[in-house]
A and B are shown apart, each in its own frame.
Chain A
């Protein structure tokens, strides 16, 4: 069974600074995908970034990058140049390659960006 662990319930970061949100995962499947979603206070779930288990390069999407360390089973999200609008809950999720599997989510990290 897959499992996602996010150990930081809350994080603070100064505006314009970079921040790393931790995510570790567990799966027995060699093929899997890792995802990060942002949930602002309005409640919607916004897809941010994806990393495949066989991708050689760390994924990047604008100010978001994923620090993927396969041997450590970690997929940390790095947000560079934080903005006030980045204040939100951030969820790490994964799904494995076993057919039409659902996403499994972590408990999330609440990021607060301070001016």
Chain B
């Protein structure tokens, strides 16, 4: 069964460093998302991406964040200068369509720890 994959599973970085989180969405999916979950809290939306551009972004997704689909399979989230409060689990998700009946399938997540 096709699935969303994410690498790395765990990333440890120093405050101020840049990190790139990678995702490979399900191959026939067209819509891609990043969510994050701070430890013990609910999952929060960061950004959605379609047709090589951002469709929607939340207040969390400020100038230090960027997303890219560098090739036909990868979808990346870059955090330019990490802060302590960026420590969280980051989930990539994808869906075939964007409407309300379409299920988003999540990857296993990347746990980011900023020291």
Binding site for B on A (CB under 8 A): 29, 31-33, 35, 37, 42-47, 50, 52-53, 91, 93, 95-97, 99-108
Contacts and interface: CB of A to CB of B under 8 A. Distances in A.
B21 to A, nearest CB: 14
Interface residues of B, number: 29
Interface of B: 31, 33, 35, 41-45, 48, 50, 55-56, 58, 89, 91, 93, 98-109, 111
Contacts of B102: 33
B67 to A, nearest CB: 14
A100 B98 contact: yes
B33 A102 contact: yes
Given A44-B107, A44-B108, A101 B100 contact: yes
B98 A99 contact: yes
Contact of A107 (B41, B58, B93, B106): B41
A43 B31 contact: no
Contact of A43 (B93, B103, B111): B111
B104 to A, nearest CB: 6
B56 A106 contact: no
15 contacts: A33-B100, A33-B102, A37-B106, A43-B111, A44-B106, A47-B104, A95-B100, A99-B55, A99-B56, A100-B31, A102-B35, A103-B43, A105-B43, A107-B42, A108-B42
B100 A31 contact: yes
A67 B67 CA distance: 38
A43 B106 contact: no
Contact of A47 (B41, B44, B103, B108): B103
A96 B102 CA distance: 11
